[in-house]
Chain A
Amino acid sequence: MTQPKCQDPVILNLWHPLAAVSETPAGVVAETVLLEERIGYAVDGAGIGAAWRSRRDLPAGSSIDVAAVADTLPAKIAYGYIWTSLGNPPDDLFPIPEYAEADRRRLNAATMGVNVSAPRAIENFLDMGHFPYVHTDILGAEPHTEVKEYDVEISVDRDEILATRCRFFQPMASTVSTGGADVDYVYRVPHPYCSVLYKSSPVDEARLDVIAIFLQPVDQEHVRAHMMLCVLDDENEDKVIKRFQQTIFGQDKPILENQFPKRLPLDPRAETPIRADKSAIAYRRWLSQKGVTYGVIPAAS
């Protein structure tokens, strides 16, 4: 058994996403990097995936019978992606029940490389205060800059962070009205490197769109960000929905790549939180409590 490059048992034992199934040709070997190691993977047309530490007998581009590959890593297909683990992962991945709802559109908006640690990207995903400045005239607009009080809890039985009652002013909040309005958000962090966001649907007041970010840690300071959409929209073409999400993520990218240090500092005195950062404060504490060391700068004990 080779010694993994990543020495963080918490991270090693997690499921990590590798690629969108829709973008992986069936029965063909593809390669990627996870936790500084080259990983080979493949899916077949029937919903089976396999992953292994990259090896010569299975070069990228070669055709294989996925079910017959031996000496593999744990593998799972979930939410449109193939997942693997370099350790001993739990049986199940965190639940996203809405993914099963038949009338939703399920897409990978894109998989993009970002020069930042996974936890920095999660924190940005949880953050509303930057909407007017980074996503100007889309998710926010000056002077409507206030982050109103919201609730954060760490759910003990589910071991995840939950931020509720989040609201932020969005210009052109819905397709039916021209003016701006407060939009409701709920954020979950069910995995140190994954987050799920629920947002008022512009087409159905009673339901929420689901947007998730699954971060594949290439190394401590580089990620592949997989953006999953599970939305109510029977009008727009896929590419229009993807374009919107890529525009948003493209706006976050230069911020993420200009954060210093790139790894997330867990020392409470490393940076200056404000009330609006409640969810980020909870996230940093949660990572500390779990003993995560990969992609972060742990607080001196």
Chain B
Amino acid sequence: MITLYDYELSGNCYKLRLLMSMLGIEWKTVPVDFYPGREHKSDWFLKLNPLGQLPVIDDDGFVLRDAQAILVYLASRYDPAGTWYPREDPKLLGEIGQWLAFADGITGTASAARLHDGLFYDFDVEAARAGAHRLFRILDEHLWFGEQEGRDWICAANHPTIADIACFPYIMLSEEGGIPRQDYPAIRRWCDRLKRIKGFIVMSGVFPAGPARAA
């Protein structure tokens, strides 16, 4: 059984809940009082992750940290169809790696702005917002041309990958950091598509989509 060290309002923890739900795997949760308790800096947690960051999983004794790394692990181990992280397709793996790094950039900007506004972190919020807008412009352009080419997802595949999961949460939560998505229509449409993937679940701050039109 997978144990997820989890904080409800964390977009990085949500990435894992989302993928596990879409993969149909069960997990149990150990709540970590990230705020206000700063339990991720407590002694017991630092033994799990010396970086003092969420999320962490424990899969029958195998302990792993870092949201993107855990996505790679979960998809590689628990996706029998092998579509979320297609191990046999080097180009696609390269692309996924590229966008996982991009997702870290989103965390460093959009998530930082949200932590500033919501939880009073002492960050340069204007720089964080400007950085997020720069990334969102790049992603919106990428997704718009994807639509023109008949591609619905971030990577060149006819199905979503963990790159989509990695980018999604802090984009959806960006308004909590004062970053509107009005100027990114292709991102907004991609968010709707992602919300319609079977097994999708919400977190606080993310609303579900309505049903798609019957084909």
Binding site for B on A (CB under 8 A): 20, 23, 108, 110-115, 224, 238-240, 242-243, 246-251, 253-254, 257-258
Contacts and interface: CB of A to CB of B under 8 A. Distances in A.
B46 interface: no
Given A20-B36, A246-B9, A257-B175, A239 B119 contact: no
B120 interface: yes
B36 A110 contact: yes
B39 interface: yes
B118 interface: yes
Interface of B: 7-9, 31-33, 35-37, 39, 117-120, 175-176, 178, 203-207
A23 B36 contact: yes
B29 to A, nearest CB: 9
B117 A113 contact: yes
Contacts, number: 61
A211 B130 CA distance: 38
27 contacts: A110-B35, A110-B36, A111-B36, A113-B117, A113-B120, A238-B33, A239-B33, A239-B37, A239-B39, A242-B36, A242-B37, A243-B8, A243-B31, A247-B8, A247-B9, A247-B204, A248-B204, A250-B8, A250-B203, A250-B205, A251-B204, A253-B204, A253-B205, A254-B175, A254-B207, A257-B176, A258-B175
B204 A113 contact: no
A243 B32 CA distance: 9
Contacts of A239: 31-33, 37, 39
Contacts of B204: 246-251, 253
Contacts of A115: 117, 176, 178
B12 to A, nearest CB: 15
Nearest to B208: A136
A243 B203 CA distance: 12
A112 B33 contact: no
A64 B144 CA distance: 57
